[in-house]
Amino acid sequence: MQIIESSKVKEKVYVEKLENGLTVAVIPKKEIQKKYVIWGTEYGSIDNNFKIDKTGDTVRVPDGIAHYLEHKLFEQENGKNSLDVLSSLGVDANAYTTNNHTAYLFEATDNFYEALDEFMDYVQSPYFTDENVEKERGIIGQEIMMYDDYPDWKLYMNGMRCMYKTNPINIDVAGTKETIADIDKEKLYTIYNSFYKPDNQLLVLCGDFEVDSLLEEIKKRLKINPDKQEVQRMYPEEPNEIVKKYEEAKMDISKPIFLIGYKDKLEPGEMVKKDLAIECICNMIMGKSSDFYQRLYKEGLISTEFSYNYEFAKTYAHILIQNTSNNPKKVTDELSKEIEKYKQTGFDEKEFDRIKKKMYGEYVKSYNDVSSIANNYLTDYLREINTFDFVEEVLVLDKEYTEKVLREVFVEEKKVLSVVLPND
């Protein structure tokens, strides 16, 4: 068993790879009532093209199939839906699909092991028929239509399509009504047998657990499955350049919303440090205490805080900055000027240290919540990152490196603007 420890937040993660290949991470939180479990599979919407090693066949599956499978996994051969079973136990259960992984989760205060029985049973027991796959098509079609009417999602997807030419991150996670029409039970079983393999999964549990006894309970609930097929993921080569600078849409909203994106390149071994630097830059330039934010707020160009995030995985990386404004292009131009100013002057040392301490406090605070701890561990594990590195490295982040990131990443040639305007 491997023990990963953080001296800063005084937390430990106990990690064991079981005989069947499943990696289990237990994060004990003594005297906490809630218990949180998340089971992640490294299979998301971008994994739509792969080669089966045994046959050499190349497989192209319909867009949206990862999300479709997530929906179908709850339906069991006994006619029950596992979400309903878990809900009857007083457990809050859910699932989600992202660009690079799919996860199933639940949070419980009581009936934990009864919930774990159902949870581990349905994730390991796919049951797809012609009838139940067809039944789901209309449900997911309605969900796709709902997302099409969601302004923030339209804003995000248009931003992705401005930045990425061939990377499948520019494809909607749920697919389209046309692509899901090609999904059948055989394709779902192909995906399950190709990617829902124990050695491609991570089970994270956070709560008041005794590690050894919990691991024994998990081992009891493991099912013996036939060998799954080995596959190689295939991703198209993505150019460094953006596709286009600007995209707009019109929807039924009261005020324009906008998203500024900066396309970046992956730097293995440096992503935590870079993430911290970008968060620090965004805090200093456009955080609520910044002169820039205060000026734009007083001028009425913005009425809310900026949201910003560095989104990255193994095949993509980009900065996203979002807000509302009656004049998105003006705000974007003003932000570009502010960035150029800091490229010339650099950051104030005292302000830089203050922002780092603020970030450190936020990271430490996140360790009070079992769901945040488990979700962050899963996300970082799939990005091949030690989740404790963020809190360990934030205070030693240096100003010179941060200013270097500002100059190299926040460049006009890699910037896009996505805007959603009110209907006329």
Lowest mean per-residue pLDDT among 82-91, 244-253, 262-271 = 262-271
First vs last C-alpha separation in the chain: 61
pLDDT of res. 159: 98
By C-alpha distance, which of 215, 308, 183 is closest to 258? 308
Inter-residue contact 151 to 202 (CB < 8 Å): no
CA torsion 36→39→42→47, rounded to 10°?
-100
Q: Examine the pLDDT at 227 and tell me if it is beyond 80.
A: no
How far is 286 from 197, CA to CA, in rounded Å? 43
Q: Examine the pLDDT at 134 and tell me if it is beyond 80.
A: yes
Tens digit of each residue's pLDDT (9 = 90 or more) over 310-319: 999 999 999 9
By C-alpha distance, which of 303, 306, 305 is closest to 326? 303
By C-alpha distance, which of 371, 396, 301, 292 is closest to 32? 371
pLDDT band at 146 (very low <50, low <70, confident <90, very high): confident
pLDDT of res. 132: 92
Q: Examine the pLDDT at 269 and tell me if it is beyond 90.
A: no
Average pLDDT over residues 365-391: 95
By C-alpha distance, which of 156, 92, 159 is closest to 119? 92
Q: Where are the alpha helices (DSSP H) in 20-110?
A: 65-72, 82-88
pLDDT of res. 224: 73
How far is 395 from 358, CA to CA, in rounded Å? 10
Q: Examine the pLDDT at 183 and tell me if it is beyond 80.
A: yes
Average pLDDT over residues 223-244: 88
pLDDT of res. 228: 73
How far is 65 from 190, CA to CA, in rounded Å? 11
Q: pTM of this prediction?
A: 0.93
pLDDT band at 185 (very low <50, low <70, confident <90, very high): very high
Neighbours of 288 (CB within 10 A): 11
**CB within 8 Å of 104: residues ≥ 6 apart:** 38, 39, 70, 73, 93, 94, 95, 119, 122, 123
Average pLDDT over residues 299-313: 95
**CB within 8 Å of 384: residues ≥ 6 apart:** 314
| Active-site residue list | 70
Tens digit of each residue's pLDDT (9 = 90 or more) over 45-84: 999 999 988 888 899 999 999 999 999 999 999 889 999 9
pLDDT of res. 226: 62
pLDDT of res. 424: 77
Average pLDDT over residues 314-343: 97
**Average pLDDT for the chain:** 94
pLDDT of res. 223: 86
pLDDT band at 7 (very low <50, low <70, confident <90, very high): confident
Average pLDDT over residues 125-131: 94
- Measured in residues, the chain has a length of 424
Domains of the chain: 2-233 (3.30.830.10), 246-422 (3.30.830.10)
Between strands 201-207 and 23-28, the pairing is parallel
